[in-house]
Amino acid sequence: MKIAIAGAGYVGLTTAACLCELGHAVSLVEIDQTRIDALQSGICPIYEPGLPELLDKHLDTSLKITADLSQALEGADILFACVGTPPMATGAPDLSGLRRLLGDLRALRPLSADGRPVVVLKSTVPPGTNRWASKRLGGVLPVVSNPEFLREGTAVYDFFHPDRVIIGSEDRAAGELVASLYRDVEAPLVLTGWEQAELAKYATNAFLALKLSFVNELAALCDGIGTDVQDVLTALGLDKRIGPHFLSPGPGYGGSCLPKDLKALMWKARRIGVTLDTMRSAEKANVRQRERLLQKVLNGVDDIWGKTIAVWGLSFKAGTDDVRSAASLELIPKLLALGARVQAHDPEALIAFARVCPPERWPGLVLCGDPWRALHGAHALLILTEWPAYKEAPIEQIRQHLSGNLIVDGRNLLNPERARATGLMYRGVGRK
Ligand code: UDX
């Protein structure tokens, strides 16, 4: 099929490349000329394993990049809206990008009755948005909800191995047309209404946030009791109703989606007078988890003023260069404000972090291209991201580089006994 995609961000770019891989012809529309230039010169603007190879394979054959929506829509059977819906101060998602796209669509195409293109909202939008979009299009073009569940760092894999494909529509033929795109993808298909599909997306991310906040509080309980959380989590995960995934304690969830979607769901609930106590608690618990990790550092050094803290891990999780809502963006400024020096490393996210916290504006912050340089002469090591290089770091070498003896392992990557055997003071997240 011929497909137009509006928005070349994490979702639009991955969806475009993967639909080409499934044999479709895609025109990817982007308003940011620098991003178009990068893509057309073969540069993948985001760090996403497997995506550059797919772009190289399909660019200028089945994948076209353009700034011109009308050109992209010529002969298109489907238009995917993959525009960003970032949170506003109230928690409401900013739908201005989607509003602009629908306005352009109306202006470009006299809304003829041929029912093409089917407009698919893949962007994460509050319940009711597909219905609103259908009205803005005068009800002439079918609108279908097809939320994505792509995780950063594994987005290409996730596209071809989804746990399910959700199609929300009020027009059966349009829903089936969109479902046919995934014909070669083995996954359960959930054909439902607009609001159910929109809510299923928010519900998934909100539940994941809730699960993580529970896990992090369980780890805090283990710290307080003086026992180890690992076996408790193993036992928990063996319960079929809970499952073993998404049970790793950490510095609190980050990323561009879980925090945003939780806020959007709570905003929607407030508007309709529904109180979501569990969602609010999940968000509060996440804030507290970062405070707990900071306290582990402060409690482990006599006086943080003038001390050097090494930080391994700036991205919000391993496998991505994305720092949105990352623990590093909260904890490093706090350490600097308390008078510490920070030597930070990340294998992929140094540039993204420097964009938000430029060292020239943060005296005392040094960004290091080598993890051992970051460790050199530091009084303590704080691990925030679960990069394999950190997990595999020889504990003896860590001991030699540190001038102090504290490790705060925010991802439980290292072995506590082995760390202590070298004379290090090891603090994990719920580790004994
Ligand atoms: C998430 C959803 O998983 C995905 O389905 C949706 O489409 C987009 O949002 P992503 O934000 O890429 O994906 O990250 P995810 O892998 O879900 O992790 C979210 C946060 O939870 C990260 O900060 C991660 O470090 C943290 N996390 C995850 C843990 O702390 N422990 C875990 O066991 C898993």
The ligand 1 atom at the shortest distance from the C-alpha of residue 257 is 9
Is the backbone of residue 396 left (phi > 0), alpha (psi -120 to 50) or beta?
A: alpha
Q: What is the pLDDT of residues 97-142, one digit of tens each?
A: 999 999 999 988 665 557 789 999 999 999 999 999 999 999 889 9
324 Cα–ligand 1 center, Å: 12
Rounded-to-10 torsion of CA 159, 163, 165, 168: -130
150 Cα–ligand 1 center, Å: 10
Q: Considering the chain, what percentage of its residues have pLDDT values greater than 90?
A: 96
257 Cα–ligand 1 center, Å: 8
> For ligand 1, which residues put their CB under 6 angstroms from it?
148-152, 205, 208, 212, 246-248, 250, 253-255, 257-258, 316-317
3-state secondary structure of 221: helix
Q: What is the pLDDT of residues 185-225, one digit of tens each?
A: 999 999 999 999 999 999 999 999 999 999 999 999 999 99
Q: Which residues contact 219 (CB under 8 A, 6 or more apart)?
A: 229, 249, 429, 430
Active-site annotation holds for 257: yes
pTM metric for this prediction: 0.96
Tell me the best of 46, 212, 412 to mutate to test the pocket of ligand 1, counting ligand atoms within 8 Å of each CB and taking the most.
212
Q: What is the pLDDT of residues 399-425, one digit of tens each?
A: 999 999 999 999 999 999 999 999 999
Q: What is the pLDDT of residues 280-312, one digit of tens each?
A: 999 999 999 999 999 999 999 989 999 999 999
Pick the catalytic residue from 18, 222, 257, 368: 257
Rounded-to-10 torsion of CA 124, 284, 224, 214: -30
Residue for token pair 């989607």: 98
Residue 165: pLDDT band with limits 50, 70, 90: very high
35 Cα–ligand 1 center, Å: 25
Instruction: Read off the DSSP letter of residue 216.
Output: H
275 alpha-carbon distance from chain centroid: 26
Question: What pLDDT score does 113 carry?
Answer: 56
Q: How far is the C-alpha of 204 from the C-alpha of 149, rounded, in Å?
A: 9
Cis amide leading into 117 (omega within 30): yes
